[in-house]
Structure 1
């Protein structure tokens, strides 16, 4: 169903959606884990509210960018009600495409001397 969809067709991503995909790029996480990782990684600059997070998760699942997993990090220590999510292959490609798009914008801003300390490639 999602095989014919191209990553560029889903760009640009909203900031919360990109942060959710970034949080899942290195490991599976449950909703609260996603919220905590985004907050920590951004130094509290981005705080995802539960409604924003779970609405985005629903949309991302519908687009085939993330999927729910049945695995648990440690079933004895984990709450069985938690749902874990991971990127799909398409989700990885979309996240990479968005990262490339943002990097290209940063390079353009650096070339215009808007990013002190950065050098345009």
Structure 2
């Protein structure tokens, strides 16, 4: 879960989960904030979100701040390992954007 076999790319859902978990949050806040960040384009259902959170915890990319909170809302935060994978993804995405801009610019200059 999270990375394709060939490219090492994070799925969009995992990208946004890791992005948002640079600050602690519980599930409902994650769903709400991710939908807000993407203007409703990415809407995570509870099943998908909690499945992803479970997988990300098993990989060591995120951790629960308190396994047994009093209000039953477990907050999560990204780990150092999760930050490493997230940073690699940012580098990959920046490269893609730069390459797209170069091709687009060259195409416009040559009137294609």
Structure number with higher relative contact order (C-alpha < 8 Å, ≥ 6 residues apart): 1
Report the counterpart of residue 53 of structure 2 in structure 1.
57
Residues of 2 paired with 1:45 and 1:99: CA distance? 20
Question: Per the alignment, in what secondary structure is the counterpart of residue 109 of structure 1?
Answer: helix
Report the counterpart of residue 8 of structure 2 in structure 1.
11
User: 1:103 offset after TM fit, Å?
Assistant: 1.0
Report the counterpart of residue 36 of structure 2 in structure 1.
40
Which ranges of 4 or more aligned residues in structure 1 deviate by more than 4 Å? Answer: none
TM-score for both structures, normalised by structure 2? 0.81
Structure with more of its chain in helix, by fraction: 2
Q: Return the index of the structure with the highest Cα Rg.
A: 2
Residues of 2 paired with 1:61 and 1:87: CA distance? 9
Residues of 2 paired with 1:20 and 1:81: CA distance? 20
Aligned residue-pair number: 98
CA RMSD of aligned residues (A): 2.0
Residues of 2 paired with 1:101 and 1:52: CA distance? 25
Q: Gaps spanning 5+ residues in structure 2: where? A: 1-6, 106-112
Q: Gaps spanning 5+ residues in structure 1: where? A: 1-9, 115-121
User: 1:99 offset after TM fit, Å?
Assistant: 1.1
Residues of 2 paired with 1:22 and 1:11: CA distance? 17
| Cα deviation digits, residues 13-41 of structure 1 (max 9, x gap) | 1111111001112x100011111110111
Which stretch of the first structure deviates more once superposed, 59-68 or 105-114? 105-114
